[in-house]
Structures are given as structure tokens and as C-alpha cells.
Amino acid sequence: MDKAISVKALTIAYGAATAISAVDLDIAKGKVTVLAGPNGCGKSTLLRAIRRLHQPKSGEIRLGDMPISGLKEKELARHIGLLAQSPSAPDDMSVEELVRLGRYPHQTMLQPWSAADADAIQAAMFGTGVSHLSERRLGSLSGGQLQRVWIAMVLAQETDIICLDEPVNHLDMAHQIDCLDLVTRLNREHGRTVVLVLHDLNLAARYADRLVFMKDGSMVADGAPVELMREELIEDVFGISCRVIEDPVHQRPLCIPIRNSSPRFGAAPQS
Amino acid sequence: MPLASSNTSIRVHQRIGRRALFSGLAVLLLILMYLSLAIGYRLYSPGEIWRAVTAFDGSEAHVVIRDLRLPRALMAPLVGAALGIAGVLVQTLARNRIASPDTLGLNAGAAFAVVMASGLFGVASLPGLSVAAAAGALATSMLVFGLAAAAGGISPLRIVLVGVTFAGLFDSFVNVVLTVNETMLDQLLFWLAGSFADRKLNLALNGLPFVLVGSGIAFYLARSLDILQTDDATARGLGVPLGVVRGLSFVSVALLSGASVAMAGPVLFVGLVVPHAARALVGLEHRLQIVAAALVGAVYTTLADILARFVIFPREAPVGAVTAIVGGCLLLVLLRRRAA
């Protein structure tokens, strides 16, 4: 396996509280890796750490052979793009103005705008199907359109690796599928390495080449969706008793939750 | 890709439009600066103004033009441009469109320093008060930025909270001192209201380098400021070193507002209103926003300075009052338009 990123014995703490502890993980080049787990399991923290938004307490993250701690800000931003969880920009910013921001890591004082920038912006808007919206204000877009525009911004960054933190959180079902299909296409057609954080297990199983389960700050399991989508493992990680069947359309495992089996969520009294 | 080519043509069209817009504003500014020399309590002809500058003969008309009108015709646009740029920076820094240099407490800090200098050290001359004002604004900016940073990471919200707190504190001190000491109130009222009248040319020349350096920093940061309009995670994801950019922006704001308050005293509302007008004209890219804000700010204060000579003719109104009245109305129009 060709590694895009390798995480070694990574521990991250917020003050005294340990957010993730001793995580080892290799992210395969050109694949879609999905980090999944219940709320507070540390999956977003791990993603943000991969993009160096958190300083590790111990351990190391390597991009290829280089430790990311040694890279300059812009250099790192030319390798890894990030679509943050609930990103924000002014309502009166135009779509094109936002997408243009993605070129920042490629620009210098002496070379502010090049033909390559213009091409990357056009290609990113075309690839995400938002070219016709370029003059529109962000505040006038629907949630689905807005998420496409944000993806276009990250795409314009032209990074080999794209990290997306809960990209479908606030979208309805049609736009969730739309958005994740788009991300998959970027992976299949452009060979980008994609790291996704998703808390919806079925979406995770459907779109992942490789699935990573996290629980209480530790990595619990790591493998292809068919290997990980086992009833006892899901019960252990997510605290639900469930049945797993095969999705008749996509031939991916599909989890049908039955009931909350975890006392920490205050399970309903058994009768 | 037909879509792409039509987009490009729209942008080219916009770029020509912007050039025309900037030239138009520059011409308007020159006309206003000329009017600032020509009209007021007395009217002067172009020939007389020309002679006063090139062949000064010591006559009353020439003294008025060279020593009274010329400094304010230069200082008003300088202060307006500085406050316009400072306003853009503060609103981006605070991610808040109702923030302004006032919000960061810089004017209040300057006023406090002026009152202290006057009360404790008996400073009464305008140059002395200017130095005190600049020192007050700079000290306040360091205090606000230092405290916001010390509380762990300089978030936009924390900057505004600390700034508003100090603005309130300093304003209260000033009010208490001036209520107790009425003589001082009389002496300082002309400064506290903000004005371009009776300033020496030297004062504008001393302010100029600070304004130039402050604007230079703002230009240097333009691309990073574009990105500061997004959330912190996105900005860092794009490779913007947030702490460095925010720190430098603060230095720029301190230089620009410090120089302005030293030259003219607190001129209210300019830093608040001008960025709104600039964004309405050129959009959200800071490279353009900063140029537009400088031009609009200069036009605005120069116009206000001319109006100040006529609103309560034959006496002069403080320019700060005029900018506040005009700015308030303009802001209401802008807000209404956005709400509609």
C-alpha cells in the first residue's frame, strides 16, 4: 500500500483532557478513508491533527516521508486541503470570490495572480457544477449549492489530499448523496486521496474504501467496510444493537439500528 | 466551456468599471480639495489660491489660504483615507461589520491620554496634545491586543470584547474628569469633538509617514485578510498564519488610527461607514476594498470638512459631528438596502 499519510503513536490533549491517545494509522494514497464513530470519539480531532490544526502531545504525523511538523504553513496547504466542519464566510461574498481564496497557498507577494490560478478556479467551479453561480452571493444559495461551492474552494487549492470534516452534516438526504458522490468522483477521476469524517455509519460504509472506527479517543478497528460492519463491533463502538444486511443496490453492508444498548445514553428501561 | 468564457468577460468588464470608479473618485477628491481651499467664510478665486501658494505676499487672503485652508485641505483626505483603511481592517479582524477603530477603544484611549496630559502635565498646545493622543491610541492598541492574546488565542470575539471594555472605561474616566474640571472641558472640547481647523501643515506632514506605513502593511496583508473573513479552521487550512496576520493588522490599525486621532482628534463614524461603502462598490477582495476605502474615506472627510463650515454659518461645526450625522444617515440607507 502506498501511504499518503502515516500517523504514529499520536496523542492529542486539550489541557488535561486527552482527546485521542496513541493512534497509529496509515492513510492509503488515492483511496477514500472514512473516520467514523460516535460523538466525541476524537474522529474530528484526528482529522484536524492530520491537517496540523492541533499540536500533538506526543507522536508524529508524516506526509509521505516528511514529518508535517517541519513544513511551512503554505507548503502544507499545497499538499492537504481542508473543508472544515460548518465553514463560514460573509453572506455577501460572491461564489467566485470564495473559490479564489483556495489559491492562496500558491500565491506569493511577487506573483499574486497567474494563469494557473485562473485555470484552477475555472476547473474547480466546473468540476463541482457551480460555474453558473459564480456571480451569486453566498447568502442567496441553498445549503446544497453552498456545500458544492465550499468543495470547489478546496478543489481550487489543488492538493493531493483532501480532508472533509462532516461535510454532509446540515444537508438533506438528496444533497448528502449528491455531495458524497461528488467527493467520490474527485477521488476516482482525479486520483485525490480523500479523508472524510462522517458520523452516519451507513453513509460511511457506502462511500469508504477503508473505514476507521474510533471510540473514546482510540482507534478500535480499521479495514474494508465489509470487514468492519459486524453487529458486535458496531454495538461495541456505537452502543446500538443492530442488524447488518447487504444493501441490495450498492452491495455494501447496511446497518439497521434496533435499540440503544449503551447505559451512558440512559437506555430506556427494559420491560 | 461557454460558461467559463462568459464569466471571464464579466470580470474584464468589472475591471474596466473599477478603473473608471477609482479614477472618478480621485477626480472628485481633487475637486473637493480645491473647493476646500476656495470656499468657506470667505471665497477665493483660483488665481488668488495659486498666487498664495506660489507667490506668498503676506496679505490676509494669502495667510488664510496658505496657513489655514491648505493644511486642512491636505489633512482631511489623509485622515479620511487612514480611517477608511483602518475601518476595513478592524471589520475584517473582528468579523463584524459594526466594528470600527472606536470599537477597539483607540479613540477613547487617545482622549484619555489627552485629558491626562492636559490635567497632569498642563499640556495645552495642539502639537503636545497630538503626541499625547498618538501615544494613547498606540498604548491602548497594545493593551487591547495584549489582553486579547493573553486570554489564549486572539479570537475576533475576544478582540471586540476587550476593545469595547476599554473604550467604555476610558470614556468614563474622561467624562468624570471633564465633569469635575470645567476649565479643562472648555480647553479640550475643540479637540474632543474632532476638527481639521487651525492645524499646522507640519502636523499633516508628521502624520503622513505613519499613514503610509500603516497602509503599506494593510496592502501587504490584503490576500491574507481576504481569507480572515472565513472561519479559523478554513483560514488555517489555507495556510494563513492567523496570529501573525492578526498581530500585523493590529499594528496597521494602531498606526492609522493613532495618526488620525493625533491630527484631527476623534473623527467618528468614518471608520464604521466607509468600509460598507467600499464593499458595496468593489466587493470583498481587500486589495480593492482598501483602495476604495481610502478614496471614499478621503472624499467623505473632505466633504464633511467643507460642510462643517456652512451648517451653522458663520460659525464652524466640529467635523466629527458632521461625519457622524452624514455617516449615520448613510449607514441607515445601506442597512435598509441590505434588509430589502
> How far B238 CA lies from chain A's nearest CA (Å)?
5
CB contact under 8 A, A78 and B239: yes
Q: Reply yes or no on whether the pLDDT at A269 is more than 60.
A: no
Q: Select the more confidently predicted residue: A268 or A35.
A: A35
Q: Select the more confidently predicted residue: A205 or B122.
A: A205
In chain B, which residues have their Cβ closer than 8 Å to the Cβ of A85? 233
The answer to whether A94 contacts chain B (CB < 8 Å) is: yes
ipTM of predicted assembly, 2 dp = 0.90
Interface test with A, best of B223, B279, B334 (most A CBs within 10 A): B223
In chain A, which residues have their Cβ closer than 8 Å to the Cβ of B234? 82-84, 87-89
% of chain A exceeding 70 in pLDDT: 96
The domains found in chain B, sorted by start residue, are 14-339 (1.10.3470.10)
pLDDT tens-digit readout, A187-200: 999 899 999 999 89
Which chain B residue is nearest to residue A122, measuring alpha carbons?
B4
Q: Which domain holds residue A222?
A: 3-87+160-261
In chain A, which residues have their Cβ closer than 8 Å to the Cβ of B220? 109
* Nearest by Cα to B115 from B100, B128, B101: B128
Classify residue B337 as exposed, middle or buried by CB count within 10 Å of its CB (0-12, 13-18, 19+).
exposed
What does the pLDDT read at residue A271?
A: 46
Residue A129 lies in a domain: no
The answer to whether A76 contacts chain B (CB < 8 Å) is: yes
CA A145 vs. chain centroid, Å, equals 18
pLDDT under 70: residue ranges of chain B: 1-16, 152-153, 338-340
What does the pLDDT read at residue B8?
A: 42
> How far B140 CA lies from chain A's nearest CA (Å)?
29
What does the pLDDT read at residue B15?
A: 61
CB contact under 8 A, A84 and B285: no
> How far A193 CA lies from chain B's nearest CA (Å)?
16
Q: Reply yes or no on whether the pLDDT at A215 is more than 80.
A: yes
Which chain A residue is nearest to residue B227, measuring alpha carbons?
A101
What does the pLDDT read at residue A165?
A: 96
CB contact under 8 A, B227 and A104: yes
Tell me the three-class secondary structure of chain A, residue by residue: CCEEEEEEEEEEEECCEEEEEEEEEEEECCCEEEEECCCCCCHHHHHHHHCCCCCCCEEEEEECCEEHHHCCHHHHHHHEEEECCCCCCCCCCEHHHHHHHCCHHHCCCCCCCCHHHHHHHHHHHHHCCCHHHCCCEHHHCCHHHHHHHHHHHHHHCCCCEEEEECCCCCCCHHHHHHHHHHHHHHHHHHCCEEEEECCCHHHHHHHCCEEEEEECCEEEEEECHHHHCCHHHHHHHHCEEEEEEECCCCCCEEEEEEEECCHHHCCCCCC
CB contact under 8 A, B230 and A132: no
CB contact under 8 A, B227 and A90: no
> How far B147 CA lies from chain A's nearest CA (Å)?
20
The answer to whether A157 contacts chain B (CB < 8 Å) is: yes
Residue A95 lies in a domain: no
In chain A, which residues have their Cβ closer than 8 Å to the Cβ of B11? 96
CB contact under 8 A, B231 and A76: no
What does the pLDDT read at residue A198?
A: 94
pLDDT tens-digit readout, A224-261: 999 999 999 999 999 999 999 999 999 999 999 998 88
Which chain A residue is nearest to residue B338, measuring alpha carbons?
A92
pLDDT confidence tier of residue A117, bands split at 50, 70 and 90: very high
Q: Which of B3, B234, B285 sits opposite A132 (nearest CB)?
A: B3
Q: Reply yes or no on whether the pLDDT at A270 is more than 80.
A: no
**Rounded CA separation B5/B221 (Å):** 30
% of chain B exceeding 90 in pLDDT: 50
CB contact under 8 A, A77 and B237: yes
In chain B, which residues have their Cβ closer than 8 Å to the Cβ of A109? 220
Residue A83 lies in a domain: yes
Residue A209 lies in a domain: yes
Chains A and B: how many Cβ contacts under 8 Å?
94
CB contact under 8 A, A105 and B239: yes
Q: Which of A86, A122, A135 sits opposite B10 (nearest CB)?
A: A135
Question: Residue A215 forms beta bridges with which residues?
Answer: A218
Residue A106 lies in a domain: no
Name the one residue in this structure whose C-alpha cell is 474640571.
Answer: B181
Q: Which of B231, B279, B283 sits opposite A84 (nearest CB)?
A: B231
In chain A, which residues have their Cβ closer than 8 Å to the Cβ of B283? 94, 97
Which residues have CB under 8 Å from A50's CB, separation 6+?
Answer: A5, A7, A27, A61, A68, A80, A163, A195
pLDDT confidence tier of residue A50, bands split at 50, 70 and 90: very high
Q: Which of A73, A87, A135 sits opposite B234 (nearest CB)?
A: A87
Name the one residue in this structure whose C-alpha cell is 490584503.
Answer: B222
Residue A122 lies in a domain: no
How many CA atoms lie within 13 Å of B17's alpha carbon, on the beta-carbon side? Answer: 9
Q: Reply yes or no on whether the pLDDT at A170 is more than 90.
A: no
Alpha helices in chain B (DSSP H): 2-38, 46-54, 60-63, 70-93, 106-121, 126-150, 156-180, 182-192, 201-220, 222-228, 232-237, 242-264, 270-282, 286-308, 319-339
Q: What is the CATH number of the domain that holds A256?
A: 3.40.50.300
Domains contained in chain A, number: 1
